[in-house]
Structure 1
Amino acid sequence: MAAATKLMDNGFNNVIIVEAEDRIGGRVHSVNFSNGVIDLGAQWVHGVKNNTIYEINNGTYKFGVTGFDDKLPLFLQSDAIPVNQYKCENFAFLALENLFSNYKEMSKFNGSIGEFLIMKFKNSSYYNIPEDQELGDQMIDFYHKEMNIWNGSETWFDLSAQLHCVSGFNEGLQYLTWKRDGYIEFFKYLTKQIPTDGTNKTLDVFSKVILNQEVTNIAWNNSDSNYAVVTVKDQTKYYADHVIVTIPLGVLKARHESLFTPTLPDKLKYAIDGMGFGNIGKIFLEYDMPFWPNDTEWVGYGFLWTKNDVAAINGTVKEWLLDLQMFTKLDKFPNVIEALLAGPHMRTFETLSSEVIISDCVWLFQKFLGVVLPRPKAVIKTTWLTSKNFLGSYSYYSMKTAEYNVSTDDLAETLFDTTNKPRVLFAGEHTDHLYSSNAHGAVNSGFRAANEIIDYYS
């Protein structure tokens, strides 16, 4: 969508968007829930400085806020015994300082983020108080889940500490919300349905989209043809001067050998193999009335598991709950509470029925709070990992990425045909140099690919 708007805004109107799903947006997936619109995919606008998504609306949209930037969750323990919040905060600030500020030292650490943070914890004065070591271990586990959610990884031992420092950071609040409108609202700004540049020019990009067209092959370097040939599942063929491929990295990993004719250059295959592609899950629970605190200081419940309770739940049908880090409030949805989760049990999570999700979450709340609670009246959850057109959520810098010495730049390399025409261009969050895994990185990448075509004709 970003590439198409850039092309059309520069006079290239012979554009077709071939979309495998029955909707636009890809990993922006806004759905109706609780008399509003929530996001199963991209949800927040992370920062304002140099953030394309924030800048495109040019101050027209008044974003909501969450409080996540400056507030920690209320930490709960699995045996329902109250924990010392002050001590939890000390460990939290130690974790956050090293994960998001100590880039100078982390960039020199030739190991994983997990190894780096555990080292920092165990060398700290907080951890070396004997009676606080179990709490320290619980907080290590909590931030292990935090990093899995940030990256979509199964374990933080697969996250390269050095490459973590490569990502760009947009200054400003990191959790700006689309309130009850959902991220899909952004497309109104992207296509200039809501003008922000002083003109009344709109871009009818939606008419260029053909839904339910799963691409099965891109023949991109045929000496007998002046075009690339894009074939979809029903054998319809589209002929194009240029093809911008925004297929998620997870799908490229699974199907690139059959998707491209001829097959991709070895260097690009190597990069596809080397870059990590992870998965996160979301759960939204709607209640008749909230059972959680109704004040501005409360942002969520953070779950700390005792060693005994971890041992007791391991190997049971509720083991997936160990991937769930916390439940948080949802901006402008007073009766909805949301969980994010990531880790080794995501495939199991995605197979669970709504009834099981509700029952297990009620069990979790009652175990940690130590009180009987009502059941939610509605639930919705994600299935990114098992959706064939996604096979996950977003890319990350893995230990394999570091070992292979590949990068997002390698995934963004254009394929030229025998006439030296830029035939296949790659876009998507996994190809953005600074903001991979982010929606604004995806937008940037679409603009970059479109600009390369525009420059070719200038």
Structure 2
Amino acid sequence: MVLSHGLDSHIVIVGCGISGIGAALKLTKHGFRNVRILEATGRTGGRIKTGKMGNNIIEIGANWIHGPSEANPVFCLSRQYGLLDPESLTPENQNLDIGGHPPWVPSWFSSSGRKLTAEQMGPAVELFGELLEECSQFSDKGSEPYSSVGEFLRAEVRQRAAERWRGDSASCHSIRMSLLSTLLKVECCVNGTHTLDALGLGAFGLYKTLPGLDCTFPRGYEGLIDSLMKELRPGMVAYRRPVSRVHWQREPGKGETERPVTVECEDGERIPADHVIVTVPLGYLKKHHGTLFSPPLPLHKLHSVQRMGFGTNNKIFVEFDNPWWDEDCEVIYLVWEDETDLVDQVSDVERLWIKKLFGFTVLKPTKRYGHVLCGWIAGHESEFMETLSEQDVTHAITNLIRRFTGNPIITPRRVLRSQWFHDPWTCGSYTHTGTGTSRQDIHNLAEPLPLWGEKPLQVLFAGEATHPSFFSTVHGALLTGWREADRLISHYSAPGTSQPTKSKL
């Protein structure tokens, strides 16, 4: 039971993504009367962003429900709201454990315009999958033989490939090594990092997957946001209201309020509060922590903000009048024959950025999306791509596809790309565990300020970066919003009705 004086507490939530919405919903359903969300933009959803390409729905932001099963709250809510296809709801789909890598039907094309065979490529795919599995085990072992995932993969690939493919021809060995470079770029996209050399090996296994075959929303991911927003009281969200500073640890009787926190908006409005839940992306926090908090973040929290990784993964949607890929194809890998040296970044970003694009996923079903491919590109090359004109991106993509298919007349109908790095409120895509990070860094990110004292929990932190095992996911973001709401509910609950605050981290 929440005590009545707690229900009158003034709570400000910074950011109207799914984490902030989730926190607001849980608090209001527990009777808190003074909850307000400040959103910097004119829209809800944050990094959930559904768009249109012609008449077709596309996901500019979050794409899948990763691990759609009973343990995933995003799946359960989406099912409750009737937002998913019947196939996604079957027990068979929920029980399928794919380990984070969907079993898509692949096609491989080389830079000389050849279509490659499964016999040629299979051993490289198998070796890479085996090594990725090994990467995820170092977090449990408490030791790491290399400082990064990239270092480990390069060393082990060279050694094991030399042993296993000893009898193969030089050309076969060469094309497999080139595919492994492509697979390194795939992992850059999956993890939202410029290079796997920036991905900590010891912390790689902190990320956990849930069972279930990843699924999409027939009418767009924003349908989930819309459904959640309908449950909030009208007027709770103030749009186009960026926060410039959070003043915390204010002394009673000093300033305009007795409340310990003042949220200062860019338009000059000053909002007194007992608690503020900050849900901004880690990329924004990295860039603005110095001005966002007064007093500044404690050093241990600041160092964790700096150590944790936050990178860019962009999409380039390409629509065609007719498909040039096989009907059953679900993913297309582009293999550069000159990349035999296990590379996941280019030597000249401005000239060669397009080589970082690992390939395309095929948007299915066709009756919903038309003939649309989604290209994936991460890192600094992706950030540079954002600065180019749509015409330049279209030209580069057209030339790329013509080269790899060997068809000089293929022409896209239209091209559309995301630009998450230059979005001033995200500054990138999502979180990864950088080199030197540990489980403690994520705990530090999630730790409220101050944790104890006469007026604790003045500033709380939510968002995907603060989840210890589901960082980079929508369900991770939602769970952290709920976690911080529960922390406040627990704080104001009658003794014996809830766990103490200390156990909530």
Q: Is the 8 A contact 1:127 1:136 kept in 2?
A: no
- What are the residue-to-residue correspondences of 1:157-168 with 2, within 5 Å? 157-168=197-208
Equivalent residue number for residue 411 of structure 1 = 445
- Range with greater deviation from structure 2 (26-35 or 80-89): 80-89
Counterpart secondary structure, 1:45: coil
Q: Distance in 2 between matches of 1:153 and 1:147?
A: 8
* Matched ranges for 1:37-436 at <5 A: 37-49=57-69, 50-58=71-79, 60-63=82-85, 69-100=102-133, 103-104=136-137, 107=141, 108-111=143-146, 112-122=148-158, 123-124=160-161, 125-128=163-166, 129=168, 131=170, 132-173=172-213, 175-179=214-218, 181-191=219-229, 193=230, 203-205=231-233, 207-223=235-251, 224=254, 225-293=258-326, 295=327, 297-307=328-338, 315=348, 317-331=350-364, 332-402=368-438, 406-416=440-450, 419-436=454-471
* CA 1:206–1:154: 2 relative to 1, 3 Å: farther
SS at match of 1:272: helix
Q: 1:163/1:392 Cα in 2 relative to 1: closer, same or farther (>3 Å)?
A: same
8 Å contact from structure 1 (residues 362, 373) kept in 2: no
1:169-213 CA distances to partner (integer Å, 9 max, x unpaired)?
10111x21112x11111124435x5xxxxxxxxx22563111111
The alignment status of 1:14 with 2:14, answered yes or no, reads no
Instruction: Kindly provide the amino acid, as one letter, of the partner of residue 208 in structure 1.
Output: M
Give the conservation status (yes or no) of the 8 Å contact 2:135–2:205: no
Structure 1, residues 304-351: CA drift from partner, whole Å, max 9, x if none? 00118999x964855111110111211231221111111331221110
Count of matched residue positions in the alignment of Structure 1 and Structure 2 = 441
| Distance in structure 2 (CA, Å) of the matches to 1:24 and 1:2 | 12
SS at match of 1:207: coil
Distance 1:456 1:443 in 2: 20
CA displacement at 1:141 relative to structure 2? 0.7
Q: What CA distance in whole angstroms lies between the structure 1 residues aligned with 2:56 and 2:381?
A: 30
Picking from 50, 69, 73, the partner of 1:30 is: 50
AA of the residue aligned to 2:246: I
Contact 2:310–2:432, Cα closer than 8 Å, also in 1: yes
Aligned amino acid, residue 245 of structure 2: N
Q: Which amino acid aligns with 1:337?
A: L
Report which stretch shifted further, 321-330 or 57-66. Answer: 57-66
Structure 2 vs 1, CA of residues 29 and 58 (structure 1 numbering), >3 Å: closer, same or farther?
A: closer
SS state of the match for residue 161, structure 1? Answer: coil
Moved more, 208-217 or 64-73: 64-73
The CA deviation at 1:103 is 3.5
8 Å CA contact retained: 2:177, 2:339:
no
AA in 2 matched with 1:302: Y
CA offsets 1:135-188 (integer angstroms, 9 cap, x no match) = 232122112101110111111011112211111110111x21112x11111124
Q: Distance in 2 between matches of 1:309 and 1:370?
A: 21
Name the aligned partner's letter for residue 398 of structure 1: G
| Displacement of 1:265 | 0.9
TM-score by length of 2: 0.82
User: What whole-Å deviation, never above 9, does each CA across 1:72-119 have from its counterpart, x for those lacking one?
Assistant: 421110011343322212211221232146643675433211122223
Q: Which amino acid aligns with 1:2?
A: G
Partners of 1:221 and 1:418 within 8 A in 2: no
Q: 1:46 to 1:305 in 2, by over 3 A?
A: same
Task: Measure, in 2, the Cα distance between the counterparts of 1:243 and 1:373.
Answer: 56
**Contact map agreement 1:145 1:343 (CA 8 A) in 2:** no
Please give the alpha-carbon distance, in whole angstroms, between the structure 2 residues aligned to 1:432 and 1:228: 25
Match of 1:453 in 2: 488
Contact 1:34–1:286 (8 Å) recurs in 2? no
SS in 2 for 1:25: coil
Q: Which structure 2 segments of 5+ residues have no match?
A: 1-20, 494-505
Report the more deviating stretch, 149-158 or 338-347: 338-347
Q: 2:233 and 2:194 mapped to 1: Cα distance? A: 37
1:346–1:308 CA distance, 2 compared to 1 (3 A): closer
Indicate the residue corresponding to 2:14 in structure 1. none
Q: Give the letter for the 1:456 counterpart.
A: H
- Segment drifting more, 89-98 vs 208-217: 89-98
Distance 2:138 2:458 in 1: 42
TM-score, normalisation: structure 1: 0.90
Asked whether the 8 Å contact 2:138–2:203 carries over to 1, the reply is: no
Rounded Cα–Cα distance in structure 1 between residues aligned with 2:184 and 2:211: 24
For the residues of structure 1 that align with 2:286 and 2:237, how far apart are their CA atoms?
Answer: 25
Structure 1: tracts of 5 or more residues without a match = 194-202
For 1:197, the equivalent position in structure 2 comes to none
Q: Which amino acid aligns with 2:336?
A: W
Tell me, what secondary structure is at the counterpart of 2:116? coil
* Alignment-mate amino acid for residue 150 of structure 1: V
RMSD: 2.5
